[in-house]
Structure 1
Amino acid sequence: MSEGHPPQVNRRELPSRTHAQIIPGRSDPGAALNAVCGSQTFASPAPLTAEGWGGIKIGMPEAAAMRRFGLKESNRPSGNESCHEDVVPGYPQLIVMIDEGRIARFSLYERGPLQTDRGFGIGARENDIRKAYGPTLKVEPHAYDDQPAHYLTFWTKPGRKGVRYETDTKGRVNAVHVGGAAIQYIEGCD
């Protein structure tokens, strides 16, 4: 290479898309969400928090989330027209509960890249969660599983916004819910 000239670039080695080509809801939804959220890397999705997930906030109108992030309706049970569930394209393990037309909670039921802001996801150990949250963590027996399965609930705004982990009889997280009071719902929208 001669001095003062830029290095030669083999175009076949360049990525097929640039960050500017990512359009929320139309291309790679996970990357689009991270781009909208200001993430430094596209490899790590935003953490789940009591406030929401990335740019999708608890209390946000469903229509706005559908337009901006490409949410897709996945489950609208008959008999309960005010509550249903959506999914985020690219993150099939993330369930978005809609209640009265607004984002009410996010739920995880399967392993994947998503975790809470404290670094816990499906498979995390109950003891680690208890240590991380300390005495403010509310521990209750699980409604369906035998002891020692629990609900572990931490409120950032008591009764209004928080995170809930469900653990199984082996002390492992098998569900995570973040958001509003709906994190306490036991059977989906009920």
Structure 2
Amino acid sequence: MRHPLRNILGTVGVVALMAACSPETETPTEPTAPPAATDPTVGDTTAVSLTGEGWGPLRIGMTRAEVVEALGEDANPDAVGGPDPESCDQFRPERAPEGMLLMVENGMLTRISISEPSDLMTDKGLRVGDTAERVKGAYGDQAQVTPHKYQDAPAEYVTVWSRGGGEEYVQDTQARGIVYEISRDGTVMAIHAGGPSIQYVEGCA
């Protein structure tokens, strides 16, 4: 005759063994939300907006030494940046995005220019390759349109001052703006942002 206690212990052991061998039940989890869209004006410096005040680590009015600290020295020191580099020079820092050219006058950053193959955008979401119509539509009555000096229409300059401006030729060093240089095919071939030097049509002049 079997002992009742032995039967009970045997039954408990079988139940415990079955529990140990059975797969664990996973607790349902909430579905993972898709990653939030990245703000194009932060994070990746190649996507920071270009304005009359500057771009990313560059601020109009900073010294050449500050520019070099931010983005490195001239990537092509043998290139001729201007007829008198001490008073006006143009160069592309080593760590600057492709298509960017900086103008330094008397030791101060006065202009940031971009051209192909740059994919940088202004604060209006405009870039090299956009149409003149899109540029004018973005600014409305703020846009000042003047003929291009070297190319036939529809080549032109579309100038927008965000600070200062108003005169036929702006000389106030505190003025800030952007010039969209339109080619003869009606698209933006270069964008110049900064102070009064955005009005120059021949490099440093």
**Amino acid aligned to 2:74:** K
1:34-61 CA-to-partner distances (Å, cap 9, x unmatched) read xxxxx64327521111000112100000
Counterpart-to-counterpart distance in 2, 1:183 and 1:118: 18
The answer to whether residue 190 in structure 2 is matched with residue 175 in structure 1 is: yes
Q: CA deviation at 1:78?
A: 3.8
Q: Which residue of 2 aligns with 1:47?
A: 49
| Alignment CA distance shift 1:56-1:113 (3 Å) | same
Q: Which residue of 2 aligns with 1:149?
A: 155
| Alignment CA distance shift 1:73-1:158 (3 Å) | farther
| Alignment CA distance shift 1:173-1:106 (3 Å) | same
Given that 1:111 and 1:121 are in contact with CA atoms closer than 8 Å, whether structure 2 keeps it comes out as no
Counterpart-to-counterpart distance in 2, 1:85 and 1:173: 21
User: TM-score with structure 1 length normalisation?
Assistant: 0.74
Q: CA deviation at 1:122?
A: 1.0
**Amino acid aligned to 1:154:** V
Runs of 4+ in 1 over 4 A off after TM superposition: none
Q: Which residue of 2 aligns with 1:13?
A: none
Matches within 5 A, 1:36-185: 40-42=42-44, 44-72=46-74, 74=76, 75-88=80-93, 89-159=95-165, 160-185=175-200
Q: State how many pairs are aligned.
A: 154
| Alignment CA distance shift 1:116-1:79 (3 Å) | same
Q: Based on CA coordinates, which of the two structures has the bigger radius of gyration?
A: 2
Counterpart-to-counterpart distance in 2, 1:164 and 1:65: 22
Given that 2:152 and 2:184 are in contact with CA atoms closer than 8 Å, whether structure 1 keeps it comes out as yes
Q: CA deviation at 1:171?
A: 1.0
Counterpart-to-counterpart distance in 2, 1:71 and 1:137: 35
**Amino acid aligned to 1:150:** E
| Alignment CA distance shift 1:148-1:54 (3 Å) | same
Given that 1:104 and 1:179 are in contact with CA atoms closer than 8 Å, whether structure 2 keeps it comes out as yes
Counterpart-to-counterpart distance in 1, 2:45 and 2:102: 21
Ranges in structure 2 where 5+ consecutive residues have no aligned partner: 1-23, 25-40, 166-174
SS of equivalent residue, structure 2 residue 113: strand
SS of equivalent residue, structure 1 residue 121: coil
SS of equivalent residue, structure 1 residue 92: coil
Counterpart-to-counterpart distance in 2, 1:90 and 1:151: 25
Ranges in structure 1 where 5+ consecutive residues have no aligned partner: 3-38
| Alignment CA distance shift 1:44-1:68 (3 Å) | closer
Counterpart-to-counterpart distance in 1, 2:102 and 2:199: 14
Indicate the RMSD between aligned Cα atoms, in angstroms: 2.1
**Equivalent pairs: percent with the same residue?**
35
